[in-house]
Amino acid sequence: MAMDWLLIGLILLAIAVNIRSFIVLNQFQKQRKAMLEDAEAVHSSMEDFVANLEQENDELYNRLVEHIAQKESRMEERMRELELKIGIADSVQPADETPVAPKSKTGKQKITVKAAEPEIDPDLPENEKIEQLHKQGFSPAQIAKVVKAERGEIELIINIYKKKQSYQK
């Protein structure tokens, strides 16, 4: 009889362990489901974030393109005004000048103007040549090509020239 009670006790213990394991398994399944839902929510929010970021990026890009187009058109207007001031007409193009470029994406035409030939005395020292070209309105890059020197060196000489001019005033 004691053996029967022992068997009954073991069976009840096995049933209790099985019930507990089903409860624990059910809890794990609920936790897994919650974790999957959380992961899906994070994934969804990341997709929304990326979509918003791409939209903002597109808007900023479009604003940048508009800004560049405005600056470009202002620059072209200034160039035309300067060309008119120095007597260059838009309709006249020298034979060695590049023709008018086709319309760009902004719908504006780009006009290329050949810079005037530099007037320098070949007997002058290099620094004075640079000063003379600067007075004629040439950029440091253009002067560097004519004098065959580094652009940084040209900019340095121009800055020294400007300082010298400011002290003489």
What does the pLDDT profile of the chain (169 residues) look like in tens digits?
Answer: 788 889 999 999 999 999 999 999 999 999 999 999 999 999 999 999 999 999 999 999 999 999 999 999 999 999 888 888 887 544 444 444 444 444 444 554 444 444 556 667 777 788 888 888 888 888 999 988 888 889 999 999 999 888 888 887 6
Question: In 10 A of CB 125, how many CB atoms?
Answer: 8
Q: Residue 164 domain-assigned?
A: yes
Burial 62-96 (b: 16+ CB within 10 A, else e): eeeeeeeeeeeeeeeeeeeeeeeeeebeeeebeee
- pTM as predicted: 0.34
Overall number of domains in the chain: 2
Residue 71 lies in a domain: yes
Question: 125 and 71, same structural domain?
Answer: no
Pair (16, 79) in one structural domain: yes
Q: Which domain holds residue 124?
A: 115-169
